[in-house]
Structure 1
Amino acid sequence: MNAPHLPRSVVRGRVLLPGDTDFDAASRPWNLAVEQSVAAVVEAADADDVVALVRYARSAGLAIAVQPNGHGATGRAEGTILLRTGRLDGLKIDPATRRALVGAGVPSGRVQAATAQHGLTGLPGSSPVVSVTGVALGGGLSWFGRAYGWVSDAVTAFDIVDAEARQRHVTADTDPDLFWALRGGGGDYAIVTAIELALQPAPRLFGGRVLWSAAHAPEVMEAYRQITAVAPNELTVWLDLLHFPGADPMVAVDVTYLGAEREARDLLGPLDHLPRPISDSRRAMQVSELGGITAEPTDPGAGLSRGELLTRLDDAAAETLLADPIAPLLSVQIRHLGGALARPSDSPHGPLTEPYALYLFGIPTDPATAEQVTVKQRALADALPVSGRKPLTFLNPTESVSDAFTPAVLTRLRGVKRRHDPRNLVRSNFPVGG
């Protein structure tokens, strides 16, 4: 592909070509451990720009990879025009109908800030800087997934530009197959410029993090298992084994509860019998403050991740997780699932029946450390009761859609791709073709 000849006049937004001063920064993925070699970058000003770009790409025989800010990049965009949708940042909240119209570039934190004013919430994850549209296209695990299911389940419509450069409004009635594929099957079928999202009531929220020395990890793990065994769907509890550079190992419990503080503290009673924590940030909060619970980085950085789904967290699994220090990993996170996530879902992922998710993360400071991180991740996954499937948004660059979907679902997704984009003009981070 010879996309460097892309005329700057094709769109009103900024076009960056190799050799331009800002090209390297504009083409860089969020995960700096991923090498992303693209032929051009287009920062679309609006949906009309997307139409113009698709029309040009069709005539020139080029492909387009779409990324608001590079989350989830896998390095599979080589040679494409990288479309940045960050300027598609429209956001409208209708509190009467509990609906939000969310532009493709709008981050989760901005939606939460807007919905909080009305006692409502979207389905936010742990990071406030990821795009809501990107998360929804991958299915999406939320703090409130136990209460309301996949993030994609809350999407009621998509505004798209299809591979023939037509703007369309896609719903379950207008195009059931495409609507189904977009609700968690990735971004391989069309370019999404906005989504319509159903909002949920959240008049009260309690949440925060409790942190202990890792010396207390066995007691914390046991309390975590007790709490999650009987937790109502409104309560979400994650456990984190942490080892930050230059600090002693620690263990944390992160919580959110859609309800009153007194109810939450009663449900979390086993934590009160543990040794005195290093810190405890739990309190009544606004849904706009959720990003502060885990305090994930809000700037790009290098990382190596591996996600899995656990079929159980029994004595043997708990002992395996705690048997050795997590180093060279930075964190080992266990998320309680279940609830609405396990209910029927008309989406590519379907119901998520595994009770826990596992997320293993390390920083590849050099090639030797990168190898050690990967070996540690593999060893833990091999020793734990994992199901073999994982959410699309948990995949790392070495994995593919076959790690997320069943063969039957993949066959259906590939059929949608062939019908709507037979020239493979739109390229996602995890293409359904392989």
Structure 2
Amino acid sequence: MTILPQTTIDDVRANVRGRVWLPADAGFDAVHRPWNRAIEQRVRAVVEVADAADVAHLVRFAQARNVPIATQPSGHGATGRASGAILLRTAGLNAIAIDPLRMTARIGAGVRSGELQRATATHGLTALPGSSPAVTVTGAALGGGLSWFGRAFGWMADSILAVEIVAADGTTHRVTPATDPDLFWALRGGGGDLAIVTALELQLRPAPSVFGGRQLWPATHARQVAEVFRSVTETAPDALTLWLELLSFPGAEPLVAIDSTFLGDEATARSLLHETSLLPTPLSDTRAPISVADLGTITAEPTDPGPGASRGELLTHLDDNALAALLDEEIAPLMTLQIRHLGGALAQPSDSPHGALTEPYAVYMFGVPATTRVAQSIAGRQAALAGALPTSGRKPITFLNPGERLSDALPGSSMRRLRQLKAERDPNRIIRGNFGILD
């Protein structure tokens, strides 16, 4: 990897309002690392921009020197493709403007899901948040984005109304279906390999009341809980979302949980979930009327960086054989195994690279690779489970792991269209997403 000369970096520092770090600078080790500490990335420099003008200057600088730029607002989703690039941090692009009458939000590319939810909650509105409040909205939406409310409203990307970008030539644009339909299509779920997003305009949804939380049992009840989960999801309205969680933390007894949200009142939610009340008494039950600002607390995902090894798959069904594959053995060395109920609006037509998500369930498997041996054991367990489950052969972009490609998530027709756009819009491959269109 070529080290950028000091005179070159001085030029960047003189023309951006944000901060710049070189590998020899104090603090570089902290700012260049991704969220997933198991991923190594050796970057030429880190630039934390202050505004879109900084981004435009940096892209023109990189284009003139044929140096790629990799954008990681919060470091989530890193795959190692940032190595050899200038790492762009957009956490400073954190403005949020809510228009409650139009039910829209304009947000900077660094805004995290929890921050947006706190802003929308004051107006009785919601965006489409995922399980973690720490993930940036832009990062999730560029990958399509699965949400607690996806069954009601579709992909996160389906809610994008406009995208503000810096193109590979350093020019700024506001991309809409009218101004650039091809790029607008690509940015709504085709990954981050075509342009650097500086802001999004999103359609918000009404959420006057939401009910949600977690019911938790010892894993000795896992079969009963899983069967109730399957039964409820077979008839659940689109406003109701359930996720089944198998949990195995070091030094603790295995657990099983049902996490749920309902866009509506408590009485209706409890009626729809009445089968869970017939199960053995749970160890805990946090379900209650909940603010959309607090949805990130349901699964209690870590909000600090750490090492992880994940694998996601889409399931064509959840029959007795699938439940046996999930439950006949403990999930260890995995720490969590999550089954998400999909369907609803996610299965409807979508003018996005993913298109309709017709599979009714998704599985997400996660472990902490504390050592090389543990990492190998985790990968083996994930592969064995994937081989035993009725997988469809594709997966959402946000579920891809570093060993996979964009083509593992998107249809061939979408990949051909994206490749053509990459060749036209970024022939020098200056923009480098976590997953490359041409890889």
TM over 0.5: yes
CA separation of 1:16 and 1:4: change in aligned 2, threshold 3 A: farther
| Structure 2 counterpart of 1:275, from 275, 280, 301 | 280
Counterpart-to-counterpart distance in 2, 1:249 and 1:373: 17
Give aligned pairs, total: 434
Aligned to 1:202: 207
- Name the aligned partner's letter for residue 184 of structure 1: G
Asked whether 1:241 is paired with 2:246, we answer yes
Asked whether 1:352 is paired with 2:363, we answer no
Deviation, 1:231, is 0.1
Deviation, 1:2, is 3.5
| 8 Å CA contact retained: 1:4, 1:18 | no
Counterpart-to-counterpart distance in 1, 2:430 and 2:264: 46
Q: 410-419 or 205-214: which moved more?
A: 410-419
Deviation, 1:10, is 3.2
CA separation of 1:325 and 1:201: change in aligned 2, threshold 3 A: same
Counterpart-to-counterpart distance in 2, 1:83 and 1:110: 21
Alignment of 1:185-334 (within 5 A): 185-334=190-339
Deviation, 1:3, is 2.9
Aligned to 1:106: 111
SS at 1:290's partner residue? helix
Aligned to 2:427: 422
Deviation, 1:4, is 5.1
Output one character per residue of 1:380-405: Cα deviation in whole Å (capped at 9) or x when no partner. 00001000000000000011111101
Alignment of 1:81-120 (within 5 A): 81-120=86-125
Output one character per residue of 1:239-285: Cα deviation in whole Å (capped at 9) or x when no partner. 00000111100000000000010000000011011001100000001
| 8 Å CA contact retained: 1:29, 1:70 | yes
Aligned to 1:129: 134
Output one character per residue of 1:320-372: Cα deviation in whole Å (capped at 9) or x when no partner. 11010111000110000000000000000000000000000000011111100
Counterpart-to-counterpart distance in 2, 1:226 and 1:77: 44
Counterpart-to-counterpart distance in 1, 2:164 and 2:437: 21
Output one character per residue of 1:157-198: Cα deviation in whole Å (capped at 9) or x when no partner. 000011111111000110000000000000111110000000
Counterpart-to-counterpart distance in 2, 1:161 and 1:227: 45
Counterpart-to-counterpart distance in 2, 1:156 and 1:46: 21
SS at 2:401's partner residue? coil
- Name the aligned partner's letter for residue 226 of structure 1: S
Asked whether 1:366 is paired with 2:367, we answer no
| Structure 2 counterpart of 1:17, from 18, 22, 30 | 22
Counterpart-to-counterpart distance in 2, 1:356 and 1:130: 22
Aligned to 1:69: 74
Aligned to 2:145: 140
SS at 2:281's partner residue? coil
The ranges of structure 1 where at least 4 consecutive aligned residues each deviate by more than 4 angstroms after the TM superposition are: none
Aligned to 1:2: 3
Counterpart-to-counterpart distance in 2, 1:180 and 1:107: 23
Output one character per residue of 1:291-318: Cα deviation in whole Å (capped at 9) or x when no partner. 1100100000000000000000011101
| 8 Å CA contact retained: 1:153, 1:183 | yes
- Name the aligned partner's letter for residue 286 of structure 1: S
Deviation, 1:62, is 1.0
Q: 50-59 or 134-143: which moved more?
A: 50-59
| Sequence identity (%) | 60
Alignment of 1:17-36 (within 5 A): 17-36=22-41
| Structure 1 counterpart of 2:413, from 402, 408, 416 | 408
Counterpart-to-counterpart distance in 2, 1:304 and 1:4: 36
Counterpart-to-counterpart distance in 1, 2:170 and 2:365: 40
Q: What stretches of structure 2 of length at least 5 have no aligned partner?
A: none
SS at 2:340's partner residue? strand
SS at 2:366's partner residue? strand
Q: What stretches of structure 1 of length at least 5 have no aligned partner?
A: none
Counterpart-to-counterpart distance in 1, 2:433 and 2:256: 36
SS at 1:371's partner residue? helix
Aligned to 2:394: 389
CA separation of 1:222 and 1:9: change in aligned 2, threshold 3 A: same
Output one character per residue of 1:47-76: Cα deviation in whole Å (capped at 9) or x when no partner. 010011111111122110001111000001
